[in-house]
A and B are shown apart, each in its own frame.
Chain A
Amino acid sequence: MLNVRLFDLTTLLFGAASVNYVAALYGKKDTLARVGTWLCVIAAVVSTAAIGVRWAESYKMGIGRIPVTNLYESLVFFAWALNFFYLFVEWKYRNRAFGAFVMPIAFLTMLFAFTNDSSIQPLVPALQSYWLHAHVITCFVGYAAFAVSAGVAVMYLLKARQEEAKTDAGVVRLFPSSKALDDLVYKAIIWGFPFLTAGIITGAAWANYAWGTYWSWDPKETWSLIVWLVYAAFLHARITRGWHGKRAAILSIAGFLATIMCYLGVNLVLSGLHSYGGS
C-alpha cells in the first residue's frame, strides 16, 4: 500500500540523515550536516504525508481510524514526533551536532517498524475508544522528547568529561557548552514529563472505561510508572546539591532505557494485558 511505501522512504531518509550527521561530526564538514538537515525536512514531509495517506486508506477499507493503534503505527508515530522535536532543537540551538545522537534513534525505530506487520487491521472491541487515541499520542510525544533528552545527555557526559580534563580535542569540541547541554536535557524533559503524565492518566481513564479499574499493576502500567518515577527523580536531582550535572544526566539516560523497556520490552519480554506485538 502507498502509505507503507512512503514509510519505507522515510526509513531511507532517516538512515541517510544519520549517516550524514555522523560523518559530518567525524569529518568536521558542515556541508554534510546541512544535507542531513534537508534530509530530515524531506523526511518530515514524507512521513506526515504517509500518516495522512494511511489514515485515508483505512477509511477506504471501511475501518477508518487514526493510525496510532498497533505496534507498527506507534513506532512510525514515535519516529515522526522525534524528527519534529529534533528539527526544532536544531533550529533553536543552531547546532547540527545533535543530529548524530538523535537521528539514529529515529532510524533504528523505523528499521524495527519495518520488521513488523504493516497491514491495516480492524480494531478489536477493546481498542475502540477515543481514550486510546489520546493515550497513544500523548505517550509517544513524551517518549520522543525523552529520546531527545537521552541523546543530549550522552553529549553532556562526553562534553563534561572533556571540560573537566581541560582538553579540547576531537569532535566533542564542536558540541555546545556543558551548561547549554544540561539545560537542553532539562528542557526536553519538561516537555516529555507532562506528556507522559497525561499519557498515563489517559491510559488509566481508558482502563477505567473498559474494565472498571484505573490501575491494576499490570507490567505495562507498572513500567510506565517506573519511567515516570525515574524522571521525577531527575527533576528533583537537578535542584539538589550534589545530584545535578552528571548524576542527573545519568538519570535521564536511565529514564530513556526504562522508556524503551516500557514501550517494547514489556511486550517482548513480559506478558500483560496490553496486546501490542503479541498479536
Chain B
Amino acid sequence: MADDKRDTSTMDKVWNFFTSLKLAITVLIIMAVASIFGTIIEQNQPIEKYRQVYEDWAYHLLDRLNMFDMYHSWWFLLLLVLFTINLACCTLDRLPRVLKVVRNPKTTLDENLEKTLGQVDRWKKKGSLDAWADKYAEAMGKTIGKPRVTKNGDAVHLYAEKGVVSRFGVYVTHTSIIIIFIGAIVGNVLGFKGFVNILEGQSIRQVSTPRGDRSIDLDFAVRCNKFTLTYYTDEHGHQTQQPKEYASDLSVLENGREVLRKKIVVNDPLQYKGIWFYQSSYGQAGAASAKVAIREPGGALVTGLSLFAGQPVEIPGYGRITGTDYQPNYQGLGPALLVTLEKAGQPPSQLWLLESRPDFDRQRKDRYYLSFGGLSQAFYTGLQVAKDPGVNVVWVGCTLMVIGLLIAFFMSHQRLWVRLSPSADGRVDVVLAGSASKNRLAFEKKFEKIQSDMKAVAI
C-alpha cells in the first residue's frame, strides 16, 4: 500500500504523498465541505445583494476568499488539480502491478501461496497422476475455465481463472473522471454560452454572452417564424392557465436561403453547425392589436385593419373606428371586440363584434359591415445558445464511469489452483485452492461445490 514505509528519500516521500489514499479521502471530504459553503452562500449575485445580506467585515472576508464565485476560484481549481494529480499518481502507481499480475499469473501453487489463500482443501487418490490431472482439468473447465498445466518436477499444477477484467473496473472509473475533466475543459475553452431574443418574423446573426457584456457572431442567421404558447385544457375542454408547450418555429438561413427549419420546444433544441438553440423564455413585443376586416354587404373585402386599443383609424368615405374593449368570452359567445364607430354628422355608436360570427355586423344593413378576426399579439422568443465541443467527451466519460463501477463492484476475479504430487504411500496427493477478489462469501459456496464435485470424480 502507498502508506507503507519503505524508502524515505524525498522523492519517495513526495510520491507517497501523492499516491496515498488518505490524501484522496481528505481531498474528497474537503471538496464536499467546500461545496456546502458554495450552496449556503448564493453564487454570482450582484454585489449590492451581498452588501445587504452581510456585515461589512463578513463581506470583505468572503470576497477575499472568492466565496461569491467559489467554483471558479483559484483555490477550488487548485483542489481539483490536486485531486487529479492524486488520481493519476495512484493509477500510475498501481496499474503496472495489476497488469503484471494479470499477464503473469501465478500458475503454480507453492506452499507460500497456499498459506495466503482463503480456500484450501486436500485429499488423496489412488491411480495415475496424469490421469487425475486430465480429469481435474476437465472438471475445472466446466466451472471456472480451461486450466493451464505446468509440470514442476514430480508435481503437476493446474491453474484456471475467470473475471480478470474485474481488476480493471476501478481504473476504468478513475480514468473516466479524467476524461470528464478533459471534456469540461475542451467545452470551456472552445465553446461558448449565450442567449438571444428574436422577434417573430425577424432574424439574428449575433448572440449575447450570458452577462450580456459581449456579443458573438454566428456565420449563419436564425429567424423566428412564429412563437406559440399553448395551455392545458381541463376536462370540459376549456383552456386553463397551465402552460403546456412553449414552441418556436425557427429557420436557419445561409446567405438569405433557408437551409433548415424546425419547431423547437423545451427539451427539444435545434442544432446547426455544432451550435444549439434551446427554448428558454418568451415575451410580448408591443401591445396587442385587433384584426378587423371591412366588407361590403356582398362580402367583398374593402380593407383589413389592425386596431390598437384607444387609437382611432379612419376608413375613407365611411367614418372613424376605435377599439374600445375586448372580452375573451362575451356572454358565453367567445372572444368579442367592442368598437366605437363615429360617422360624420351622427352620434358615435358602439358595436360588439364576435369572432365566432364574422357576419354578425351585417344586420346593421349599412354600407359596410365590420368583422373581427381575433387579437394579434407579436411575441419574441428567448433562446439559450450553446456550443460545447467537449460535451460528447463528457458523455463518453460518464458512460465509462458507470461501466467501470459495475465491473468494480459486481465482477470478481476468481482463481483456482490444483496441485497433484506423488504421495509417500504411492497414492496421489491433491491440493485444491481458490480465491476471489470480491464477494468472498458467494465464492466460498462455489468453492465447496467445486470441491465436492472434484472429490466425487472417479476414473
Expressed in whole angstroms, the Cα–Cα distance for A210 and B279 within the complex equals 8
Whether the pair B269, A240 counts as a contact (CB closer than 8 A) is no
Expressed in whole angstroms, the Cα–Cα distance for A188 and B197 within the complex equals 49
Whether the pair A226, B391 counts as a contact (CB closer than 8 A) is no
> Which of B32, B38, B235, B276 is in CB contact (< 8 Å) with A212?
B276
Q: Does B306 contact A (CB under 8 A)?
A: no
Nearest CB of chain B from residue A136's CB, rounded to whole Å: 15
List A contacts of B395 (CB < 8 A). Answer: 205
Contacting A at CB under 8 A, from B1-41, are: 1, 3, 21-22, 24-25, 28-29, 31-32, 35-36, 38-40
B20 to A, closest residue via Cβ:
A240
Interface string of A214-241 (1 = CB under 8 A from B): 1101010011011001101100110111
> Which of A210, A222, A240 is in CB contact (< 8 Å) with B22?
A240
Classify the interface of chain A: helix, strand, loop or mixed: helix
Expressed in whole angstroms, the Cα–Cα distance for A156 and B39 within the complex equals 32
Whether the pair A233, B391 counts as a contact (CB closer than 8 A) is no
Whether the pair A229, B278 counts as a contact (CB closer than 8 A) is no
Whether the pair A217, B38 counts as a contact (CB closer than 8 A) is yes
Contacting chain A: which of B242-250, B284-292, B356-364? Answer: B242-250
Whether the pair A197, B405 counts as a contact (CB closer than 8 A) is yes
List A contacts of B280 (CB < 8 A). Answer: 211
Expressed in whole angstroms, the Cα–Cα distance for A39 and B164 within the complex equals 43
Q: A210-B266, A229-B28 are in contact. Are A222 and B35 (CB under 8 A)?
A: yes
List A contacts of B1 (CB < 8 A). Answer: 241
The listed residue with most A CB atoms (<10 A of its CB), out of B22, B39, B42, B269, is B39
> Which of A201, A209, A237 is in CB contact (< 8 Å) with B267?
A209
Expressed in whole angstroms, the Cα–Cα distance for A83 and B36 within the complex equals 30
Contacting chain B: which of A6-14, A43-51, A121-129, A168-176? Answer: A121-129
Whether the pair A211, B28 counts as a contact (CB closer than 8 A) is no
Whether the pair B24, A212 counts as a contact (CB closer than 8 A) is no
The listed residue with most A CB atoms (<10 A of its CB), out of B43, B245, B266, B268, is B266
Whether the pair A211, B384 counts as a contact (CB closer than 8 A) is yes
List A contacts of B315 (CB < 8 A). Answer: none
Contacting A at CB under 8 A, from B401-440, are: 401-402, 405-406, 409-410
Q: Does A249 contact B (CB under 8 A)?
A: no
Q: A124-B243, A236-B24 are in contact. Are A229 and B266 (CB under 8 A)?
A: no
Expressed in whole angstroms, the Cα–Cα distance for A172 and B433 within the complex equals 37
Q: A194-B402, A225-B35, A243-B22 are in contact. Are A214 and B243 (CB under 8 A)?
A: no
Whether the pair A212, B386 counts as a contact (CB closer than 8 A) is yes
Whether the pair A210, B278 counts as a contact (CB closer than 8 A) is yes
Q: A128-B266, A208-B391, A241-B3 are in contact. Are A229 and B38 (CB under 8 A)?
A: no
Whether the pair B267, A125 counts as a contact (CB closer than 8 A) is yes
> Which of B25, B193, B279, B409 is in CB contact (< 8 Å) with A243?
B25
List A contacts of B243 (CB < 8 A). Answer: 124-125
Whether the pair A236, B402 counts as a contact (CB closer than 8 A) is no
Q: Does B388 contact A (CB under 8 A)?
A: yes
List A contacts of B156 (CB < 8 A). Answer: none
Whether the pair A217, B71 counts as a contact (CB closer than 8 A) is yes
Whether the pair B398, A204 counts as a contact (CB closer than 8 A) is yes
Expressed in whole angstroms, the Cα–Cα distance for A241 and B1 within the complex equals 9
B388 to A, closest residue via Cβ:
A212
Expressed in whole angstroms, the Cα–Cα distance for A34 and B124 within the complex equals 48
Contacting B at CB under 8 A, from A61-76, are: 61-63
- List 17 additional A-B contacts (Cβ < 8 Å) besides A63-B232, A201-B402, A240-B21: A128-B265, A201-B398, A212-B269, A212-B278, A212-B384, A212-B385, A213-B193, A214-B394, A222-B38, A226-B36, A233-B32, A236-B21, A239-B21, A240-B22, A241-B3, A243-B25, A266-B39
8 closest A-B pairs (Cβ-Cβ)?
A: A212-B386, A125-B266, A190-B409, A229-B32, A233-B28, A219-B39, A129-B267, A201-B398
* Cβ contacts A to B, 16 pairs, < 8 Å: A61-B235, A125-B244, A125-B265, A201-B401, A209-B267, A209-B268, A210-B266, A210-B278, A211-B280, A212-B276, A226-B32, A229-B29, A233-B32, A236-B24, A240-B3, A242-B22
A residues near B, CB below 8 A?
61-63, 121-122, 124-126, 128-129, 131, 183, 190, 193-194, 197-198, 201, 204-206, 208-215, 217, 219, 222-223, 225-226, 229-230, 232-233, 236-237, 239-243, 258, 266, 270-271
